[in-house]
Amino acid sequence: MSDPRSADGTPQFSTAEYPGAAGTNLCKSCNQTISGNYYRVNGVMACPTCAARVKSQIPRDSHAAFTRGLLFGIGGAILGLVLYAAFGIITGWMIGYVSLAVGYIVGKAIRLGSGGIGGRRYQIAALALTYAAVSLAAIPIWVAQVSKARNATRSELSQSVRSPSEQPSTNSSPAPQQKPASASRPPNVGRAIVGLVFIGLASPFLELRDPVHGLLGLVILFVGIRIAWQIARGTSIQILGPFKSPKPASVAVNSG
C-alpha cells in the first residue's frame, strides 16, 4: 500500500487506496489505464489495442514455413550425426549423452527455419530427425571400427608371413599357374546401403544385447528427443478475452 500523504507530508483522507488497486487496471504493455474491456495475453492484462497488436504479430503457419523448418531440421540432423559420429570415432566411446546435443540442435534448427512457428507437425519432424541422426551415426562408427580391425589384422599377418631366418629357396619349382578367376557378380551397392540404413535405424535397440548399456542409451535418446520436441513446440501466445474491467471501489471518508 502506498503512503496516503501529499507532497508536503500532510495526510490525505479524500481518497482511499487499497493493495493492488493502482495497478489492477493498467495495461502491462503500454502502462495505460484500462477503462473498458481488457484481455489476458499469456495471463498478463492488456488493453484491446495492445492485444490486437500482439495478435497481428503472431507468425502464421504455412506450407512454406513448414518446408523451411523441415529443411533446416534436416541440416541440423546431418550436423548432429556428424558430431555424434566424430565423437565416437575419435574417442572410441559410444556415449549416449551426445543425443542431448543432437536433440537441441535439431529443435533449434527447425524453430529457426520456421521463424518461431511450432506445432504438432514440427514436433513430429523433430522427433523423427533426432532419432534418425542418433541411430544412423552408428554406421560410420561401425565402418571406422571395422577398418581399424582390418588394418590391425593385415599388419599382424604381414609380420608373421616371413620370419627373419627364412630365406627364399633357389631350387624351388615354379609355382603352378592359377586359373583366372571367373567373373563374379558385382555387389549390389544399393541393396547394401539400404541394409546399412535399416541396421543403423535399429541400432539403439540392437544395443540391448548389453541390457544395462542399451537401456541407458535408449533413456538418454528419449531425453534428447524430448528436448527437440519441446523446442519445436514454438512460441505459445494465448490471448483470452475480452473481459469487463472491474470498476475501482470508492469509499467516502468523513473528514468531520
Per residue in 105-134, pLDDT tens?
999 999 999 988 889 999 999 999 999 999
pTM: 0.66
DSSP 182: P
pLDDT at 7 over 90: no
Minimum mean pLDDT range among 32-46, 85-99, 139-153, 181-195: 181-195
pLDDT value for 43: 81
The CA distance from 41 to 47, in Å, is 10
Distance of CA 169 to the CA centre of its chain: 67
CA gap 128, 114 in Å, rounded: 17
**CA trace torsion 132, 135, 140, 145 (10° rounding):** 180
pLDDT of 9: 45
Under the banding of pLDDT at 50, 70 and 90, the label for residue 221 is very high
46 three-state secondary structure: strand
| Four-way CATH pick for 1-59+237-251: 3.60.21, 2.10.110, 1.10.3210, 3.30.420 | 2.10.110
CATH 2.10.110, the chain: domain bounds:
1-59+237-251
Least confident window among 198-207, 225-234, 247-256? 247-256
The mean per-residue pLDDT over the stretch 132-150 comes to 88
Q: What is the pLDDT of residue 213?
A: 83
Q: What is the pLDDT of residues 35-50, one digit of tens each?
A: 878 888 888 888 888 9
Length of the chain: 256
**CA–CA distance, 31 with 16 (Å, rounded to integer):** 22
**Amino acid 108: pLDDT:** 96
H or E element that contains 41: strand 37-41
Whether the predicted pLDDT of 203 surpasses 80 = yes
Output the pLDDT for position 193.
83
**The C-alpha cell that represents 46 in the structure block:** 492488456
Q: Please report the pLDDT score of residue 24 as a whole number.
A: 59
Residue carrying the nine cell digits 500523504: 5
pLDDT digits (tens, 9 = 90+) for 14-40: 443 333 444 457 888 888 888 878 888
pLDDT score for 165: 52
Distance, in Å, from the CA atom of 160 to the CA atom of 17, rounded to the nearest integer, reads 97
Averaged over 207-227, what is the pLDDT? Answer: 89
Can you tell me which residue has the cell 507532497? Answer: 7
**What is the model's pLDDT at position 211?**
86
C-alpha cell at 22: 493502482
- Bridge partners of residue 44, in order along the sequence: 41
Q: Please list, in sequence order, all residues whose beta carbon lies within 8 angstroms of the beta carbon of residue 98, skipping any fewer than 6 positions away.
A: 83, 84, 87, 134
